[in-house]
Structure 1
Amino acid sequence: MTRVNLITGFLGSGKTTLLRHLLAGKPEQENWAILVNEFGEIGIDGALLRQQGAVLKEIPGGCMCCVNGLPMQVGLNMLLKQSRPDRLLIEPTGLGHPRQLLDMLSAPVYHASLQLNATLTLLDARQLADPRVTANENFRDQLAAADVIIANKRDRWDDGDRQRLQQWQDATLHGRLLIATQFGAIDPALLDLPRTNTQALPQPAHHHSHRREENPLAALRLEGQTRWRRAVNQGQGYVACGWVFDGDTLFDSEALLAWARLASVERIKGVLRTPAGSIRLNGQNGEVHVEALAAVPPDSRIELIHSQPVDWNRLQSQLLKIRLN
């Protein structure tokens, strides 16, 4: 029987960082698997999680529930058949709705193979001050579906954020567990809590437009002598644009950071190679952080997400100029 947890949370709430924390403490004798879905086509989260000691399956380009859940079902069935994991952690896109996933995972066909445990939903208290986020249907329903709320990034909150979080907790939680933390550091024992929140969720409005790849279960790859490619995806009122560069391409890290900070988009993330080593870019609303990575990725990837039209060609031209070779 595979123990399953859904790890949800809106854009920038820290889902991938939390998964990396959990994987770092994985018991050696257990076989874990990760099913990760990203809004864009590039596959940044998969690049970060690939060498973390778990079997990884990526479903890029929107939400797992599209096309009547076929990509999700195929990916899930492949993992269960090929890897037979003791534990499966599912990370949907921050713009995804949890209803279809929870319905699918609790369907009779999986009763003999899956034990659906608590859903953990990440919340950055600063999001409660953004009316556009709080009005988002998926943001509200992710929190409504949670068994446990992980109030993440507390090191970046101010007094107003803490007050809004307390007001939201008093009005909304009704006995559900809320844990405040930073850097996604949680007790792994939370994964074994039972699923107790079975309230009915509304049917989500579906507004996706996906660029179909030949293989919908693999993030964008380069072929032949191609040095780089761009992919654009849109839906749920957001647009994502991402680039993947071959393994021989190196970037000027200082120029790359300046470019990321001036991009003026709501979400930016990347795993890139520089002369000094590999780095992770992680940005939200102009606040960009850089982290050195021990593992060397096979290529460089960067993705931007925004809710307004963006001149992707201008940003692309600037990005190409800071390549070192």
Structure 2
Amino acid sequence: MTRVNLITGFLGSGKTTTLRHLLANKPDGEKWAVLVNEFGEVGIDGALLAETGAVLKEIPGGCMCCVNGLPMQVGLNMLLKQSKPDRLLIEPTGLGHPKQILDMLSASVYEPWIDLRATLCLLDPRQLLDERVVDNENFRDQLAAADIIIANKQDRWDDASRQALLNFQQQSASGRTLVTTQHGEIDAALLDTPRRNLRELPHPAHHHHSTAPSRLSALKPDDNMPWRRALNEGQGYYACGWVFNGDTVFDTIGLLEWARLAPVSRVKGVMRIAEGMVSINRQGADFHIETRSTEPPDSRIELIDDARADWNILQTSLLKLRLHYQG
């Protein structure tokens, strides 16, 4: 039987960083798997988690949390039956509602297969000061569904965010475990906490997602097209992502400035530069870059915002930063 945890959290709360930390500290001899879903189409988290040694299954385009849940079911069944992991960590998109996933995991058909443990929700307390985030039903219900709330990015808090967290803890998190940390550094033993939060969540409003065919394989660059672009929208947010072939190398300083100054709230990518590979993670003004020892077969970057940006202008400036490429 596979132990299963749902790892939720709104955009930029630190879910992928937390997953990387947990996977780096998993018990020796255990086989872990990750089922990951992103709002956008190009699958950045898969590239970031590829070097962890876990069995990885990606679901593109924010469809894990949709009512029909078919991509989620297919991915879940494949991992359980083919890989038979000791533990499965499920990371839905930061814009996803947890109800359908928890209902599915709790269904009788999965009782012989999984042992559903605690749901963890990542929270950047600064989000509690942002009305656009607080008013989002998915943000509220992710927190409401959690057994354990991980107040992350402690190194970035100010007095206002500390007070907002204290108010939230007193008003909404009473009786539940709240852990404070930074860089997603939590004790893996938290994953074995039993699931006790069985509150009934409201049915989420139906949200539109792009209906265009969207599969990671279809976005693979080829000899005729050295890069591809994919769009998605839903729940009041818009995403645009690009995938470049492995021969494309970007100017380091120019790329980082492009990512830092892009007029969007969220930037995430794994890109090839002259010095090797760099991961880019920007949430608002928080900008984190990290060089990588392993090199994925391509480069990919995605932008998300609650307003539709001029993707063509951003694309033109990004393409000008290519130092050399083939195709």
- Report if TM-score (shorter chain) is over 0.5: yes
CA positional deviation for 1:224:
4.2
Note if contact 2:67-2:100 (Cα within 8 Å) is conserved in structure 1.
no
The letter of the residue matching 2:297 is: P
Note if contact 1:38-1:92 (Cα within 8 Å) is conserved in structure 2.
yes
Aligned counterparts of 2:244 and 2:138: Cα–Cα separation in 1: 32
1:322 alignment counterpart: 321
2:226 alignment counterpart: 227
> CA 1:304 to 1:217, structure 2 compared with 1: closer, same or farther past 3 Å?
closer
Aligned counterparts of 1:270 and 1:276: Cα–Cα separation in 2: 16
Note if contact 2:251-2:322 (Cα within 8 Å) is conserved in structure 1.
yes
Q: Percent identity?
A: 67
Aligned counterparts of 1:223 and 1:242: Cα–Cα separation in 2: 17
Aligned counterparts of 2:23 and 2:211: Cα–Cα separation in 1: 31
Note if contact 2:21-2:185 (Cα within 8 Å) is conserved in structure 1.
yes
> CA 1:208 to 1:218, structure 2 compared with 1: closer, same or farther past 3 Å?
farther
Aligned counterparts of 2:29 and 2:212: Cα–Cα separation in 1: 38
CA positional deviation for 1:211:
4.0
Note if contact 1:261-1:287 (Cα within 8 Å) is conserved in structure 2.
no
Partner of 1:209: helix, strand, or coil? Answer: coil
Q: How many residues align?
A: 324
Please report the TM-score for the alignment, with normalisation by the length of structure 2: 0.97
CA positional deviation for 1:65:
2.8
Matched, 1:176 2:176: yes
CA positional deviation for 1:209:
2.2
Note if contact 1:59-1:219 (Cα within 8 Å) is conserved in structure 2.
no
Within-5 A mapping of 1:269-288: 269-288=268-287
1:187 alignment counterpart: 187
Aligned counterparts of 2:5 and 2:240: Cα–Cα separation in 1: 29
Aligned counterparts of 2:77 and 2:217: Cα–Cα separation in 1: 15
1:12 alignment counterpart: 12
CA positional deviation for 1:222:
2.1
Partner of 2:112: helix, strand, or coil? Answer: coil
Note if contact 1:62-1:208 (Cα within 8 Å) is conserved in structure 2.
no
Aligned counterparts of 1:85 and 1:262: Cα–Cα separation in 2: 41
Aligned counterparts of 2:212 and 2:115: Cα–Cα separation in 1: 32
Within-5 A mapping of 1:119-130: 119-130=119-130
Partner of 1:128: helix, strand, or coil? Answer: helix
Aligned counterparts of 1:138 and 1:219: Cα–Cα separation in 2: 29
Partner of 2:28: helix, strand, or coil? Answer: coil
CA positional deviation for 1:219:
7.8
CA positional deviation for 1:18:
0.2
Partner of 2:314: helix, strand, or coil? Answer: helix
1:258 alignment counterpart: 257
Partner of 1:28: helix, strand, or coil? Answer: coil
Write the deviation string for residues 161-200 of structure 1: whole angstroms up to 9, x where unpaired: 1011001100011210000000000000000000000000
Aligned counterparts of 2:222 and 2:140: Cα–Cα separation in 1: 40
2:57 alignment counterpart: 57
Note if contact 1:208-1:235 (Cα within 8 Å) is conserved in structure 2.
yes
CA positional deviation for 1:260:
1.0
Within-5 A mapping of 1:290-305: 290-305=289-304
Partner of 2:56: helix, strand, or coil? Answer: strand
Aligned counterparts of 2:230 and 2:263: Cα–Cα separation in 1: 19
The letter of the residue matching 1:43 is: G
The letter of the residue matching 2:192 is: D
